[in-house]
Amino acid sequence: MTNQELIAALAKRLDWTQRQTADLLEGFVGLLNSRLEAGDTVNVQGFGLFETKKKNERVSVNPTTKQRFLVPPKITISFRPGQTVKDNLKKIEVDE
């Protein structure tokens, strides 16, 4: 699903214009980004939890050249689906 398809589907479901829906979605993503940048977690009830995790530096090996190199530490985004999403996915697996 593309961004435009998402906006069109949400607009139809909410009976809003596509412009209103795009503004809402843009605001949500902007707020999500700013909270994650601040190191907070964002829990969307019935959907899941977004959080940041710090990965420590580590030594990795290039399998072709066997050369070792240091991978610097970094911060990644993690998503844990909520129970509602998990249950809905289990229903899909069973139906197929």
Q: Are residues 19 and 57 in the same domain?
A: no
pLDDT of residue 27: 96
Q: Are residues 1 and 13 in the same domain?
A: yes
pTM for this predicted structure: 0.72
Q: Are residues 50 and 90 in the same domain?
A: yes
Q: Are residues 50 and 70 in the same domain?
A: yes
Q: Are residues 36 and 7 in the same domain?
A: yes
pLDDT of residue 96: 57
Task: Quote the number of domains for the chain.
Answer: 2
pLDDT tens for residues 24-80? 999 999 999 999 999 999 999 989 999 999 999 999 999 999 999 999 999 999 999
Partners of 70 in the β-ladder:
59
CA dist list (Å): 67 to 35, 55, 70:
38, 22, 10
d(CA 36, CA 49): 11
> Can you give the residue range of the structural domain that contains 6?
1-40
> Is 94 a residue whose pLDDT tops 80?
no
Residue 54: CATH number of its domain? 4.10.520.10
Q: Are residues 55 and 92 in the same domain?
A: yes
- Record the tokens describing residue 3, joined without a space: 């961004």
